[in-house]
Amino acid sequence: MSFHTALSGLNAAQADISVTSNNIANVGTLGFHGSRAEFADIYTNSPFSRPASQIGSGTEVSQIAVNYKQGSLTATGNVLDLSLQGPGFFQVRTGPDAEAGFGYTRAGAFGMNRDGFVTNAAGHFLNVFPTSENGDPLTTTQTERLNIPQQYGTPQATTAVNLSFNLSLSDNGGLGTQAAIPAALFDPADPSTYAATTQIPVLNAEGQAVPAQAFFVMSDAPDAEDGGLSYTLQLVVDGVTAEPADPLATLSFDAGGVQTSGLEAMSFALGEQTLSLDLGGSRVSTSAFGAISVSQDGNPRLELSSVEVREDGTVWASYGAERSVAVGQVAVANFSDLQGLGNIGSATYLASRESGEARLGVPGSSGFGAIRSGSVERSNVDLTEQLVNLIMAQRNYQASAKALETNGTLADTVLNIRS
């Protein structure tokens, strides 16, 4: 029996060393909770034994208890690095599929993946309560993966462009690169078929900018009798030459450079889409060719400009210079029996029958910690304490080994007795 008693002491000391070693190895792991080995003595009881003469039969590991106290918080400056000030865990989904299970962690080093989902280094997805765009929670019982769209808004294709230009008389008398009047058949790749060109803003149905150019083709040059001049307009959008509704429409100026025609918007057909070009306010002068003003009525989708996570866990995404919308509220979970949680690594736990079902709540409410954006929770392991524990476990191991050796010596003594 004494052999088994000494052996149980060796096994217990080995378990203690293993737990302590694991704590030391994870001293730098974010959100890690240190553990300790807890032991119970063993007695072999008999209904006929005298309590005063019972001898213990060694020890066994009763449980590996996890220390769930909060670790220190370290500022990072990354808005999606989150920590909890107080009790609770972040709820994460352990996979991209709807069937993936829920995990719970205090390791809050999150970031966005290419699809806009907020994940951690283990690939787990942060869960939030859905909210309206103004931040009002829609439910506090069901969660979904946090997704931050990279764009926001409804795009609108350009249907009208307002342009005003200065056409330069100093540039070959307003003829520019054009070879002659009348010009050769228009070719956007041949500068000799037009006098001047400029880029104009045009958006497609998805709100994306497409290449578009306006070409000015001189149709009437100033002479001694008439100092006025005229241009026809060609429009090329995304490599396609648009068809003008009125091929005879011109942009004309008198001898003083004042616009006399082209004051009404010119329409161009682009397949099923119509684009109007308003050239009102254009002029002719000796200054260099260039745009005076330009505007268009299309709307692009607004690009994500910043993200903010407030103490109540509401995640706000800002688009453009003004528009901010709430995209979710971080869910915090807690349990009746924390020691019943199952550990799956990456400082992440699973609910079990012993722990009970997760209780979900809003950050900062009763029983749930508040969110701290721009910081992470470090391991709660005290390295000095672990090194002392390691020495004690080593001494216990040596003592149990000595007890085992002594039992062996006693057995040898008995075997060597001569009759």
Q: Which of 371, 408, 404 lies closest to 108 in space, CA to CA?
A: 371
186 and 231 together in one domain: yes
User: What is the predicted pLDDT for the residue at 221?
Assistant: 86
- List helix spans (H) across 71-179: none
Boundary-marking domain end, from 296, 315, 348:
296
92 and 110 together in one domain: yes
Structure tokens at 300: 């692009």
184 and 307 together in one domain: no
The pLDDT tens digits along the chain (419 residues) read 567 787 887 888 899 999 999 999 999 999 999 999 988 888 776 666 666 666 767 888 899 999 999 999 999 999 999 999 999 999 999 988 878 899 999 999 999 999 999 999 999 999 999 999 999 999 999 999 999 999 888 899 999 999 898 888 888 888 999 899 988 999 999 999 999 999 999 998 888 899 999 999 999 888 777 778 899 999 999 999 998 888 888 899 888 888 888 888 899 998 778 899 999 888 888 888 888 899 999 888 888 999 999 999 999 999 987 789 999 999 999 999 999 999 999 999 999 999 999 999 999 999 899 999 999 999 999 999 999 999 998 898 888 777 777 766 766 666 677 55
Distances (CA, A) of 175 to 164, 191, 193, 257, 260: 18, 11, 10, 15, 19
25 and 54 together in one domain: yes
pTM, to two decimals? 0.75
pLDDT in tens, 320-331: 877 899 999 999
271 and 328 together in one domain: no
109 and 82 together in one domain: yes
Boundary-marking domain end, from 296, 316, 346:
296
172 and 109 together in one domain: no
Boundary-marking domain end, from 249, 268, 296:
296
Residues 6+ apart with CB under 8 A from 131: 137, 138, 314, 326, 327, 328, 329
User: What is the predicted pLDDT for the residue at 368?
Assistant: 94
169 and 278 together in one domain: yes
User: What is the predicted pLDDT for the residue at 409?
Assistant: 72
196 and 263 together in one domain: yes
Q: Which residues of 331-367 are buried (b: 16+ CB within 10 A; e: fewer)?
A: bbbbbeebeebeebebbbbebeeebeebebbbbbeee
User: What is the predicted pLDDT for the residue at 341?
Assistant: 95
Q: State the CB neighbour count (10 A cutoff) for residue 232.
A: 22
Angstrom distance (rounded) from CA 288 to CA 37: 84
205 and 281 together in one domain: yes
Domain count, the chain: 3
249 and 196 together in one domain: yes
Supply the CATH number for residue 287's domain: 2.60.98.20
CA angle 330, 335, 339 (to 5 degrees): 130
Structure tokens at 223: 């002479």
Q: Which of 232, 251, 226 lies closest to 181 in space, CA to CA?
A: 232
Residues 6+ apart with CB under 8 A from 80: 110, 111, 112, 118, 307, 309, 373
CA angle 30, 36, 40 (to 5 degrees): 160
Range of the domain at 354: 73-152+303-377
171 and 217 together in one domain: yes
